[in-house]
Structure 1
Amino acid sequence: MPTTLFSEIEYLKGVGKARGEKYRKLGITSPYELIYHIPRSYLDFRTHVPVAQAVLNEYNVLKLTVFRKMPPQRIKGGLVICKAAATDGIDDILIVVYNNVYYFQALKEGETYYMYGKVAGNFLRKEISSPVYIRADEQVLIQPIYHLTQGLSVNMVRTNMRQALEIMRREPFETLSADILKKYDLAPLMWALENIHFPESEQASETARRRLAFDELLKLQIGMSVMKSRSRRNTAFRMDSSIDVGEFTRGLPFELTDDQQKAVDDIVADLCRDVPMNRLLQGDVGSGKTAVAAAACFFAAKNGIQSALMAPTEILATQHFRTLSGFLEPFGVKVCLLTGSMTAKKKAAVREEIAAGEIDVVVGTHAIIQKDVEYKALGLVITDEQHRFGVAQRAALAEKGDAPHKLVMSATPIPRTLALIIYGDLDISAITQLPKGRKPIKTYAVTGKLRSRAFGFVRERLDEGRQAYVVCPMIEESESELFAVKTYAENAARNDLKGYTTALLHGKMRAAEKDKTMKLFRDGEIQVLICTTVVEVGVDVPNAAVMVIENAERFGLSQLHQLRGRVGRGSFESSCILITDNTTEDCVKRMKIMSSTSDGFKISEEDLKMRGPGDFFGSAQHGLPPLKIADIACNMELMNRAQSCARELLADDPLLEKPQNKALKMDVMRLFSKDIIG
């Protein structure tokens, strides 16, 4: 049977089982997925130089003819060194290949090649190490470079890529109609795929990239729009608008801000409709989102309907349980906690109460979406810190009810334009004001020369009875970085923080260890928490009034803002000290922004401008399908065009059932890895 685009990757000529496993490590299971393995960069062999002009200890492109190959040399440790002599017609050079006999054997005496590699040596004798090469009679001189895994070479991937593209030429398909290609000035799909891998010119690769980025953004938009319309089916939990939520908000010991009140009004209006609410509650760190969620739970309980709030960690779930209990129990609304670490007996008792409808609000971790948790009438589902879950877990919680209302809370301020894309299936409420009486956090950026003064300031706050965070970046979570953080913590405990109780919190610790350390800090038994970014999300320690962030240049603006939000949660004046010796223009600008504003939405706009969304969202992409080609911030114009194209297509064919939309529908389903459309 001939290999098709959707055959297993092993059946592509020259791949086989062993190489197929290597491709699977890269997430490639078929020739179709291989075609969408987009080059990370290109090698331009058109810009070759003579051997005499090669820059030593730099990468150069040379045009060389091999005139003598020496026998491979085996040296101590099993290493194999292969050497060949070559010439550019005027000067000679030695080609050296390490531990790759197969690669070396493909070079033929008398043949001419373009070679790209690091040139070393001196004026009289030069060598090029393990060069990437192509034959000089190759038609395409701009060659792709791919993300690889051990056992896959760039030449193997290029060969297999040509075979996959050949299959597509035999069974071509186009996802967009001729009218759309013309209207949005897009290249045909087959041409785009050929020119993203083997471009005729730089212009061709850019035109190809634009088409493929448009496709990706279009599929994202269509998938999100369909998810949004699906959630619009009727709910069994339409609530009674005559019930007064004001009984709750007026009874609070503080006055809601205008933004909080508007969010409550929007949510109550949503809960009284026939279709389920699907709303994102976006608020800066400490803006009072939990009070708004409590109002929604109160309104649901008074309607005889259960609510569930899911948090990403046990410590956050416990915090929400305490806060919601404090808000709701005085009004006769019963709140319970359900987490994985509870005893089996305790869990069983709580599950019984939930099933009997004796509990109004269930707070917990992913334990509340387990199969053995039955609800009597789950009508409101709330998830906190959305990007820690992803679409699948959100859906699993929603399936516990009969088309329940959904509220997503996120403390990561996102510019509105981007929020509409990332949370395209949700309506949006934003809380931009801080609660009355909350003091802004004073932020200072200093160099390492002032470190001892900064720690003198920390000691003064500790002596007043406050607590402190010291943040050390551990971006890669490697063993060497972990060692550096541990060493820093030991030195700090012996020197700047001598005489104070300190503890270390880092990403390599087990969840139970992290929770125990955080609990000791929250209970005041630890004065200084030295930590990596694991402290970023959500935990409330009102007595923590000072934070020191070491190597602040290693964090993005939004991340610095999130970290800073861990202090200033009580009534004490709070400070954040950013320490960096980096004096680049970009770093100085970031430190100035952090020192001049505490508005998370303003900071996120600046962060997006400076870093682009790849860094802005990190690798999680908020639980959405990852974008391989499109860069949302840099492609805003393309994003808008894709949005208008998605609206146009869905208005004409809401479930993409027309024959001309069949390939596009299949692509959307593949991108979301779910049967999103009918």
Structure 2
Amino acid sequence: MLTWESSVQELQGVGTHRSELLKKLGIMTLGDLLSHYPRGYIDLSSPCGIAEAPYDEVCAVLATVIRKSNEIRLHSGMKLYKVTAADDSGVLELTFFNTKYLVEKLEYDTPYLFYGRAEGSRNRRSMTTPLVYPADSGHPFMAVYPLTAGLTGGMISGLMKRALKLNLRLPEVLPETVRLPHHLIGIKEAVYSIHFPTSLEQLERARRRLIFEELFILAAGIGALKTHTKVCRAAAMQPHSLQPFYDALPFTLTDAQLRAIGDLVNDMQRTIPSNRLIQGDVGSGKTMVAAAGVYFAFLSGAQSAMMAPTELLARQHYEGLAPLCKKLGVKIELLTGSMTAAQKRAVYQRLSHGEVDFCVGTHALLSEGVEFRRLGLVVTDEQHRFGVAQRAALQMKGEHPHTLVMSATPIPRTLALMVYGELDISVIDELPPNRKPVKTYKISSSKRERAFGFIRQHLDRGLQAYIVCPLVEDGEENTGLQAASSYVVELGSSAFSGYTLGLLHGRMKAAEKEKIMAGFKNGEIQILVSTTVVEVGVDVPNAVIMMIENAERFGLSQLHQLRGRVGRGKEQSHCILVSDSRNPDTVSRLQMLCSSNDGFEIAEYDLRTRGPGNFLGHQQHGLPQLRIADLTEDLDLVRDAQAAATQLLSVDPMLEHPESASLRHAVEQLMGQVGERPN
């Protein structure tokens, strides 16, 4: 019998090739498929006549096909088709490219719904590459799904219909004692209605139910984690002077860094294991706060571990901290997956014997053979790249060690208290002196060639640049956005012919990504064309230009994070935002970034102005990726779900009661997700 956990390959029409494509979207089971929620809907419920179609807006127009032109071959090799449709109010000229099959299927004197951007005059309108639906499609709202190359929205929709016909027993996570008081529909009705709504009211009921459930699971998971931490006991460390640490530094720490160190050291002298987040802008000096904690643990006879998301970042931390550790007598080691078995065994032995005071590494720190003699402090860098379960796995290497997590993503404190529910927060809200702010400019695509010339001038001086795209491959979305994989080829044969370009995106294997980033850091690659996977990356002081295509597609906080990749050396750095958007709100947001380098000010503005689902970006918050809920847009439901979870945890704090079994399973699944996602 098929269940929520059954493989998606059990579904008719899903063979090996299609299952690999679905896997790119995170779909491996039937449950994954049904939880692949639409990112929007095409509204066909109220089509308009041709003359009433709002100018330069996307809409559905009901019109009858009256004429089709012959195929026109363009110089580019594309094939163009013209179709004329009409109604009592006017004429609609339709243009299609390379869609012979679609045009041939259109029948004369037959009404269709054409969905696209309406242009032209009042009684003679036009649309380019509109979507076409039968006039009586039976579905007033067509779901629009996140896609990848090789999969269309129609394919996903067809698979959804087949999966729903299987009549699977869907897991009901919300007990009736939670569901009924909050007027939430059942899970079966919600899942069907989210994919195939027949009215806005039905869609809203489904969204409300699914959003509440996701937030409830999250709140219950964080609450249970906090409860677990409070019942644990850590060995309190004795007070020690950190003056030798400060004397060993070749610079003076900022007041914000000193405050954060004070918070951490106070935590480490308590018997309750601390969970502290150090939140600060790129370059604010979070690593030095962690180093102070490591030294304090060393003075107390305890070991420390620091986990970074990639080998390059781990090596960067190791090489940066090794000279300081040597001065202070702290024995530091590096542990990564690429080391030989013999090298790893030697490190394991020194760790277990207490001969290593501080171990910097990657996920290799979680390996079965890693044992510490007395682990007192665990540090995770770039917090949002790790799932909660991974942080917990490293903590399990010791007897309830203190935990410090670092994040360069500025999040307003009001939101951070919700997002980092199980953590105390220290904010580093100032940058070290003498740091040159990055100069930021917004340009339209018409000035792109001029920007390329500006980049070439810097490359010719031996400097480097990033160019960031919103997509990995062409065809992921029918939007005309830049895709990194094709753009790198185009640039290498035109604007940057003769220069060395590299490609980086989240779908590459870890070793491949490491190799590309190492080549960029070593100067072998002059331009790195990438997706947002570089927003957390290796420190490359020689990279001084960050160019971001389709900048309107990113949240301000994410753009600020990307901008933080440059401005790390002595040279003046520049960030170029390319956008043709004329939307006043979008223009205002991008201009705000051009006028400010303060990550927290930008984050507050972004939270106030950005639309649903965009503020936190992809995995910006150290929590599992939410499929449908939005922590900024759904604030009322966040509060309701938190209150309901708190009430449940008051009687079942560790979710051990039999009636909490489904919820506990959902919590384990959500909280156990791996932090990094393809970009």
The TM-score with structure 1 as length reference comes to: 0.73
1:281 aligns with 2:287: no
Contact 1:609 1:633 in 2 (8 A): no
Distance 1:446 1:636, change over 3 A: closer
Report the residue type matching 1:628 in the other structure.
R
Contact 1:248 1:298 in 2 (8 A): yes
1:268 aligns with 2:271: no
Which position in structure 2 is the counterpart of 1:470? 465
Secondary structure of 2:212's aligned partner: helix
Which position in structure 2 is the counterpart of 1:480? 486
Query: What is the CA-CA distance between 1:145 and the residue it aligns to?
Result: 5.1
Which position in structure 2 is the counterpart of 1:383? 380
Which position in structure 1 is the counterpart of 2:212? 214
State the Cα deviation string for residues 414-470 of structure 1 (Å, max 9, x = none): 2223333443332221111223x33441525265499589959977996xxxx7443
What is the correspondence of 1:171-570 to structure 2 with a 5 Å cutoff? 175-177=173-175, 180-181=178-179, 183-235=181-233, 238-249=235-246, 252-342=249-339, 347-435=344-432, 437-441=433-437, 443-445=439-441, 447=443, 448=447, 451=450, 455=454, 468-477=463-472, 478-487=484-493, 490=496, 504-507=501-504, 511-520=514-523, 529-532=526-529, 536-537=535-536, 539-540=538-539, 544=542, 547-551=544-548, 554=551, 556-566=555-565, 568-569=567-568
Query: What is the CA-CA distance between 1:641 and the residue it aligns to?
Result: 2.4
Query: What is the CA-CA distance between 1:391 and the residue it aligns to?
Result: 3.4
Secondary structure of 1:316's aligned partner: helix
Distance 1:154 1:559, change over 3 A: closer
- In the alignment, the residues of structure 2 paired with residue 9 and residue 582 of structure 1 have an alpha-carbon distance, to the nearest angstrom, of 39
1:606 aligns with 2:612: no
- In the alignment, the residues of structure 2 paired with residue 628 and residue 443 of structure 1 have an alpha-carbon distance, to the nearest angstrom, of 35
State the Cα deviation string for residues 366-406 of structure 1 (Å, max 9, x = none): 33333344433222221211223333443343333333322
Distance 1:374 1:142, change over 3 A: closer
Which position in structure 2 is the counterpart of 1:82? none
Report the residue type matching 2:490 in the other structure.
A
Query: What is the CA-CA distance between 1:186 and the residue it aligns to?
Result: 3.6
Secondary structure of 1:256's aligned partner: coil
- In the alignment, the residues of structure 2 paired with residue 668 and residue 113 of structure 1 have an alpha-carbon distance, to the nearest angstrom, of 49
Query: What is the CA-CA distance between 1:163 and the residue it aligns to?
Result: 6.9
Distance 1:99 1:512, change over 3 A: same
Report the residue type matching 1:354 in the other structure.
L
Secondary structure of 1:479's aligned partner: helix
- In the alignment, the residues of structure 2 paired with residue 113 and residue 453 of structure 1 have an alpha-carbon distance, to the nearest angstrom, of 48
Contact 1:536 1:562 in 2 (8 A): yes
Query: What is the CA-CA distance between 1:293 and the residue it aligns to?
Result: 0.8
Which position in structure 2 is the counterpart of 1:80? none
Secondary structure of 1:285's aligned partner: coil
Secondary structure of 2:222's aligned partner: helix
Contact 1:64 1:114 in 2 (8 A): yes
Distance 1:193 1:438, change over 3 A: same
- In the alignment, the residues of structure 2 paired with residue 450 and residue 8 of structure 1 have an alpha-carbon distance, to the nearest angstrom, of 48
1:641 aligns with 2:647: no
Secondary structure of 1:476's aligned partner: coil
Distance 1:491 1:129, change over 3 A: closer
Report the residue type matching 1:201 in the other structure.
S
Distance 1:412 1:131, change over 3 A: closer
- In the alignment, the residues of structure 1 paired with residue 378 and residue 440 of structure 2 have an alpha-carbon distance, to the nearest angstrom, of 40
State the Cα deviation string for residues 525-582 of structure 1 (Å, max 9, x = none): x9xx53345764454466x5x8333356536533443344455546x5x533344564
State the Cα deviation string for residues 70-123 of structure 1 (Å, max 9, x = none): xxxxxxxxxxxxxxxxx99xxxxxxx998999xx99x9xxxx99876899xxx9
Gaps of 5+ in 1: 66-86, 89-95, 494-502
Contact 2:4 2:29 in 1 (8 A): yes
Report the residue type matching 1:651 in the other structure.
S
- In the alignment, the residues of structure 1 paired with residue 414 and residue 367 of structure 2 have an alpha-carbon distance, to the nearest angstrom, of 35
Decide which moves more: 440-449 or 367-376: 440-449
Contact 1:196 1:209 in 2 (8 A): yes
Query: What is the CA-CA distance between 1:481 and the residue it aligns to?
Result: 1.0
Secondary structure of 1:575's aligned partner: coil
Decide which moves more: 151-160 or 615-624: 151-160
Query: What is the CA-CA distance between 1:307 and the residue it aligns to?
Result: 1.0
Report the residue type matching 1:511 in the other structure.
E
Contact 2:307 2:381 in 1 (8 A): yes
Report the residue type matching 1:269 in the other structure.
N
Secondary structure of 2:217's aligned partner: helix
Which position in structure 2 is the counterpart of 1:74? none
Which position in structure 2 is the counterpart of 1:667? 666
Distance 1:16 1:408, change over 3 A: closer
- In the alignment, the residues of structure 1 paired with residue 142 and residue 228 of structure 2 have an alpha-carbon distance, to the nearest angstrom, of 44
Distance 1:179 1:456, change over 3 A: closer
Distance 1:517 1:297, change over 3 A: same
Contact 2:239 2:269 in 1 (8 A): no
What is the correspondence of 1:130-209 to structure 2 with a 5 Å cutoff? 141-144=140-143, 146=145, 161=160, 175-177=173-175, 180-181=178-179, 183-209=181-207
Structure having the higher helix fraction is 1
Which position in structure 2 is the counterpart of 1:496? none
Distance 1:663 1:248, change over 3 A: same
Gaps of 5+ in 2: 66-85, 88-95, 473-483, 506-511, 675-679
Contact 1:45 1:114 in 2 (8 A): no
Contact 1:547 1:564 in 2 (8 A): no
Contact 1:9 1:20 in 2 (8 A): no
Secondary structure of 1:665's aligned partner: helix
Aligned-pair identity (%): 40
- In the alignment, the residues of structure 1 paired with residue 251 and residue 390 of structure 2 have an alpha-carbon distance, to the nearest angstrom, of 34
Contact 1:440 1:598 in 2 (8 A): no
Report the residue type matching 1:195 in the other structure.
S
Report the residue type matching 1:631 in the other structure.
D
CA RMSD, aligned part only? 5.3
State the Cα deviation string for residues 175-212 of structure 1 (Å, max 9, x = none): 44555445545444444334323334212212321221
Contact 1:443 1:594 in 2 (8 A): no
The TM-score with structure 2 as length reference comes to: 0.73
Decide which moves more: 363-372 or 592-601: 363-372
Distance 1:328 1:116, change over 3 A: same
- In the alignment, the residues of structure 1 paired with residue 406 and residue 30 of structure 2 have an alpha-carbon distance, to the nearest angstrom, of 40
Pairs aligned (count): 621
> Which among 560, 574, 577 is matched to residue 574 of structure 2?
577
Contact 1:446 1:577 in 2 (8 A): no
